């Protein structure tokens, strides 16, 4: 009996060492860290009676280090400044072609006390102080390309990262689904010569010729696209029809290759029907409704692996899964540059992450009527 009890003791100690059984035989499980967002936003802009605080389609938004926010949308066309409480303060940059004026603020960035605004239409870069004083407005037309492009980020040394626009929306080519490539490139802050980092898959689009030589061109519903995100010294690119995301350095060499920890799921037919009905309701004619029907008849069988790619302030990559439908909040996996899953969390339904700071997430929320809000949530670790 003593030998039997000794054997049990040895086995028990072995279990403690192998499986982490603590005092009282409580099992300590090695689970992935779970984060969450605050149950309600700490700041929400939009939806009120003040027209200066309502939005149609937000093009770009940036939360400054002091908590104020800059936002651009085409109607009304202006860069608007909002206070830390989410209320409108003033127009930061009005529409126009003069110094400090913009017509298409496709990208808003900042470094310390300087705000950068890239005007895609006029191809120029304006620098402001965060107080609104205009420092400079200069042409930004890097040599080496005539194709339309936008700035998507800035590295710490001032290098700007550019992405060409998806040419699939040009309307050229045969009817059906097409997917052209886009390029990524870098240029110095003065608009020096482009250095291309490579070509990558763009967005999948549906094209159909219309009478009179025109064409109906739209994104393929539930189709794949190329996603990009800019970190401190790396630019990430991924074709979300695959489960891989690749990071590139300034020479265009692969710096990291990460596997997305999500699976591709079948397209939800209820989500398809709901989106098709909404698009038909806003169509102006029977001809447009017929084109919408044709577009929704050319659907992929499965969703992309992920829908969002954002680099946090600390360099981690926030990857958002594709939610089955609008009523379900998508999950996010937070990955280190080595591919380690640091944490997982779930977003509110219909919320898209735009910026991640130390303890806050800024993004765009879309309600059931497709009205957009800019919201900030606290990260609960």
Model pLDDT, residue 341: 96
215: helix, coil or strand? strand
Closest listed residue to residue 275, CA positions, set 290, 292, 288, 287? 292
- Burial class of residue 307 in the structure, from the number of CB atoms within 10 Å of its CB (0-12 exposed, 13-18 middle, 19+ buried): middle
Model pLDDT, residue 167: 61
Q: Considering its fold, how many domains does the chain have in total?
A: 1
Mean pLDDT for the chain? 88
Alpha carbon 117 to chain centroid distance? 18
Model pLDDT, residue 26: 35
Residue 24 belongs to some domain of the structure: yes
Look up tokens 């806050």; give the residue: 360
Residue 9 belongs to some domain of the structure: yes
Model pLDDT, residue 256: 94
What pLDDT band is residue 142 in, cutting at 50, 70 and 90?
Answer: confident
Residue 374 belongs to some domain of the structure: no
Q: Decide which of 180 and 40 is more confident.
A: 40
Closest listed residue to residue 78, CA positions, set 105, 98, 57, 53? 105
Model pLDDT, residue 141: 83
Under 8 Å between Cβ of 123 and 130:
no
Q: What is the pLDDT of residues 323-375, one digit of tens each?
A: 988 999 999 999 999 999 999 999 999 999 999 999 999 999 999 888 899 99
Model pLDDT, residue 165: 84
What pLDDT band is residue 144 in, cutting at 50, 70 and 90?
Answer: low
Percentage, residues of the chain above pLDDT 90: 70
276: helix, coil or strand? helix
Q: What is the pLDDT of residues 9-64, one digit of tens each?
A: 343 434 334 433 333 333 333 467 999 999 999 999 998 788 889 888 899 999 99
Q: Decide which of 18 and 98 is more confident.
A: 98
Q: pTM of the full predicted structure?
A: 0.88
Residue 8 belongs to some domain of the structure: yes
Residue 333 belongs to some domain of the structure: no
DSSP H helical ranges for the chain: 2-19, 269-281, 286-296
Across the range 221-236, mean pLDDT stands at: 95
Q: Is the pLDDT of residue 5 over 50?
A: no
- Output the CA–CA distances (angstroms, integers) from residue 164 to 123, 184, 324, 374, in the order listed: 13, 7, 29, 26
The tokens of 38 are what? 């605050």
Q: Decide which of 168 and 325 is more confident.
A: 325
Contacts of residue 17, Cβ cutoff 8 Å, sequence gap at least 6: none
Residues forming a β-bridge with 238: 227
- Output the CA–CA distances (angstroms, integers) from residue 285 to 77, 80, 217, 296, in the order listed: 28, 35, 16, 17
Residue 306 belongs to some domain of the structure: no
Under 8 Å between Cβ of 169 and 216:
no
Q: Decide which of 194 and 89 is more confident.
A: 89
Model pLDDT, residue 284: 85
Residue 16 belongs to some domain of the structure: yes
Contacts of residue 107, Cβ cutoff 8 Å, sequence gap at least 6: 60, 116, 117, 118, 120, 150, 151, 152, 153
Q: Is the pLDDT of residue 87 over 80?
A: yes
Q: Is the pLDDT of residue 222 over 90?
A: yes
Across the range 279-285, mean pLDDT stands at: 90
Closest listed residue to residue 197, CA positions, set 156, 256, 250? 250
Domain that holds residue 7: 1-30
Model pLDDT, residue 16: 37
Model pLDDT, residue 107: 96
Model pLDDT, residue 31: 66
Residue 315 belongs to some domain of the structure: no
Given CA atoms 238, 203, 191, 65 in this order, what sign does their dihedral have? negative
């Amino acid at each position: 009996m003593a030998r039997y009890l000794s054997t049990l003791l040895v086995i028990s100690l072995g279990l403690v060492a192998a499986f982490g059984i603590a005092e009282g035989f409580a099992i300590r499980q090695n689970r992935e860290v779970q984060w969450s967002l605050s149950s309600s936003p700490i700041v929400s802009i939009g939806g009120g009676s003040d027209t200066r605080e309502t939005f149609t389609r937000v093009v770009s938004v940036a939360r400054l280090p002091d908590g104020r926010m800059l936002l651009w949308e085409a109607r009304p066309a202006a860069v608007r400044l909002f206070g830390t409480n989410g209320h409108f303060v003033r127009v930061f940059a009005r529409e126009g072609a003069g110094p400090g004026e913009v017509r298409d603020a496709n990208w808003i960035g900042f470094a310390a006390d300087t705000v950068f605004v890239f005007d895609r239409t006029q191809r120029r870069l304006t620098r402001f102080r965060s107080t609104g004083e205009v420092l400079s407005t200069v042409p930004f037309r890097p040599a080496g390309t005539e194709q339309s492009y936008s700035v998507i980020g800035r590295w710490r040394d001032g290098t700007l990262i550019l992405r060409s626009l998806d040419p699939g929306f040009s309307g050229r080519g045969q009817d059906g689904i097409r997917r052209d490539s886009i390029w990524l490139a870098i240029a110095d802050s003065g608009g020096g010569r482009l250095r291309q980092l490579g070509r990558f898959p763009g967005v999948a689009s549906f094209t159909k010729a219309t009478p009179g030589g025109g064409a109906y061109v739209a994104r393929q519903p539930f189709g794949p696209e190329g996603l990009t995100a800019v970190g401190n010294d790396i630019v990430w690119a991924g074709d979300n029809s695959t489960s891989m995301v690749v990071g590139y350095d300034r020479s265009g060499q692969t710096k990291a290759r990460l596997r997305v920890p999500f699976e591709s799921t079948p397209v939800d037919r209820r989500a398809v029907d709901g989106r098709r009905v909404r698009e038909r309701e806003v169509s102006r004619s029977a001809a447009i409704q017929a084109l919408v029907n044709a577009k929704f008849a050319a659907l992929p069988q499965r969703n992309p692996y992920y829908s969002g790619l954002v680099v946090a302030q600390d360099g981690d990559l926030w990857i958002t899964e594709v939610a089955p439908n609008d009523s379900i909040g998508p999950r996010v996996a937070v990955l280190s540059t080595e591919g380690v899953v640091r944490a997982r969390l779930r977003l509110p339904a219909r919320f898209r992450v735009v910026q991640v700071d130390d303890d806050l997430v800024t993004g765009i929320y879309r309600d059931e009527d497709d009205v957009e809000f800019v919201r900030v949530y606290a990260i609960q670790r």
